[in-house]
Amino acid sequence: MPKAFSKHEKEAIRAQMREKGKQLFERQGIKKTSVDELAQAAGISKGAFYLFYESKEELLMEILEGLEADFRTRIFDFSIRPDNNARKLLGRLFKDVLLTWDEYPLLKNFGRAEYEYLARKLPPKRIQAHANRDDEFVEELIRRIKREGISVKASPRVVSNLMKSLFFVGLHREDLGTEAYLESMEILADLVARYITEGR
């Protein structure tokens, strides 16, 4: 039976699990990484692993959400200054968001197969909670854009769905090829920005 850990030990072990897990997932992917490897990398037993996470997928989700939190902070730091071409400014923001995503190896290598695998393995409530946080992020982004004097003609729901659509295209980057992916994203980011700022 796994030993009992103090609160301080739990925090330190959880941080270690996230860090070592991130390295393993980046190197091997979710399917090839085992709970045994994750536990060993964190210096705990396999039984102790389950004191912290119900599955390796749960650990990966927590790591991904941590990266997304950092990623979103960087987005909010992006300064949008209103001028006569709000559409281009917003389009550049969307494109920069997608390129910033590429700076995180774990996110960049997270393709369609990984997304579908994670969606199958995690409980529906966990997936829904993550989707709710995505919607909250979009609502805050819209508020910040409006504070910069840029008119948003689409509803938060539509903006959220359009941004998710850009993300889903990103999951197919391998199918498209890097050059075609970047070209497509440039066009799609501009089209989404045009719809959001100009309406139908």
- Spatial distance between the Cα atoms of 169 and 191, rounded to a whole number of angstroms: 14
| pLDDT tens track for 179-191 | 898 888 889 888 8
Residues 99-107, mean pLDDT to the nearest whole number: 78
CATH topology of domain 1-53: Arc Repressor Mutant, subunit A (1.10.10)
Q: What is the pLDDT of residue 101?
A: 73
Task: Identify the DSSP state of 104.
Answer: S
| Domain boundaries along the sequence of the chain | 1-53, 55-198
Contacts of 71 (CB under 8 A, 6+ apart): 100, 101, 104, 107
